[in-house]
Amino acid sequence: DVGVVSLTGELVKSQLKLRKIKDDHELKRIDRKANQDDLVLWHTARQREEDTLREARQIIRRLGISMKLTDVEFQGDNARATFYYTAEQRVDFRDLVRELASTFDIRIDMRQIGARQEAARIGGIGVCGRELCCTSWLKDFRSVSTGAARYQQLSLNPGKLAGQCGKLKCCLNFELDQYVEAVKEFPSPNAKIRTPKGKAVVFKMDIFKRLVYFLQLGEPGASPIAMNVEDANELIAASAKGDVVGSLASYELEEEPEEVDSSFGNVVGQESLTRFDEAKRKRRRNKRRGKPGGNKASAQGGKRGQGGQRSPKGSASEGGKSEGSKPSRGRGNRRRRGGQGSKGGNKPSES
């Protein structure tokens, strides 16, 4: 086979420890450095993988075997290939191996993997926008339960908690230990407080702000009351002894609005996304106004002047301005009719 040396030196020991490989692990013997012919043969074998995977899936479908073929990996000598598959039950693939060996003329090695290993081999981008952890660095696939989501107060939505492998996301275990330690200081979700108005129950908990929200029973439409963890534990302990505490409003904390950093502005949120388009529209209008011949209104005014009678006052021949009309319209009429205008104007055309 052909391999690539990806790491040397002291960092190899840390990777062996991360992958839980003992120091006495038998390493494969290196025959020689690959030459150009070996690399050409290796690239030829790699190019066969996609077509082989497609044809092998058709063979599996034709034989009616309940298995999912995930990936095909050829060795560097182009004489042996490993087929990775997933299956819910035990599969008898003896007929499949004979069919694949005769079709592709290679030695076949079938290897069953799990759903997480399948996602690690295929790769992809997670909802966080980064490469999948199982593809980049995670090699220890620990079991993930819904208890991890409950400790972190996440909604038990299978669509959001499941990864691309269909199982619960591995990242639910990353901060689980810190959440377990923090939850120990908080009261039980079933804790109650006795008040003059009745009982108050735990509504929710904010681990980051160390706040506990209580909801007064018997008051429809009432808002939850937030208080510190220390005050909540004292009131719950007093209620457990049978005491009736005072009003919860005296322990309520007013949540101050978050301060906005004035040195940093959200340009996208403050200004419109179409601000550049509006500027273009204005420039286009200015260009239209500057065209020779005036706008449509002036042209229509000139046509009306040809068909109608002249105003008795301030006619165009006298060089003055007509009443109720703009000077631009008068000049436009003189040019269109070709009549006698003011001094320096156009001469009348000869018929």
Across 58-67, 140-149, 254-263, least confident range: 254-263
In a domain, 241, yes or no: yes
Of 182, 201, 236, the residue that ends a domain is 182
pLDDT for the residue numbered 258: 63
In a domain, 228, yes or no: yes
> What is the rounded CA–CA span in Å between residue 131 and residue 128?
9
For residue 339, pLDDT beyond 60: no
The mean per-residue pLDDT over the stretch 25-32 comes to 78
Which residues in 9-27 are b (16+ Cβ under 10 Å) and which e? Answer: eeeeeeeeeeeeeeeeeee
Same domain, 108 and 196: no
In a domain, 296, yes or no: no
Burial of 275 (0-12, 13-18, 19+ CB in 10 A): exposed
Confidence of residue 31 (pLDDT cuts 50, 70, 90): confident
pLDDT for the residue numbered 67: 94
Domain containing 242: what range? 192-251
For residue 109, pLDDT beyond 90: yes
> What is the rounded CA–CA span in Å between residue 46 and residue 138?
25
For residue 196, pLDDT beyond 70: yes
Of 182, 217, 234, the residue that ends a domain is 182
Across 136-145, 244-253, 290-299, least confident range: 290-299
In a domain, 293, yes or no: no
For residue 283, pLDDT beyond 50: yes
Same domain, 15 and 90: yes
pLDDT for the residue numbered 291: 52
Same domain, 97 and 18: yes
Number of structural domains (the chain) is 3
Chain-centroid distance, C-alpha 295: 50
Chain-centroid distance, C-alpha 21: 36
Q: Which of 286, 285, 289 is nearest to 297 (CA)?
A: 289
For a pLDDT cut of 90, what percent of the chain falls above it?
46
Question: Which one is predicted more confidently, 29 or 194?
Answer: 194
Q: Which of 176, 205, 175 is nearest to 188 (CA)?
A: 205
What backbone torsions phi and psi does residue 123 show, to the nearest 5 degrees?
Answer: 85, 175
User: What secondary structure letter does DSSP report for 162?
Assistant: B
In a domain, 223, yes or no: yes
Which residues fall within 8 angstroms of residue 177, CB to CB, at 6 or more apart?
Answer: none
The mean per-residue pLDDT over the stretch 138-166 comes to 90
In a domain, 152, yes or no: yes
pLDDT for the residue numbered 198: 87
pLDDT for the residue numbered 292: 53
Question: Which one is predicted more confidently, 98 or 299?
Answer: 98
For residue 210, pLDDT beyond 60: yes
User: What secondary structure letter does DSSP report for 269?
Assistant: H
Task: Report the chain's mean pLDDT, rounded to a whole number.
Answer: 79
Same domain, 199 and 169: no
CATH assignment at residue 67: 3.30.300
Burial of 319 (0-12, 13-18, 19+ CB in 10 A): middle
Of 221, 236, 251, the residue that ends a domain is 251
Contact 179, 154 (CB under 8 A): no
In a domain, 320, yes or no: no
pLDDT for the residue numbered 311: 46
The mean per-residue pLDDT over the stretch 306-328 comes to 46
Question: Which one is predicted more confidently, 282 or 135?
Answer: 135
Confidence of residue 330 (pLDDT cuts 50, 70, 90): very low
In a domain, 105, yes or no: yes
pLDDT for the residue numbered 24: 73
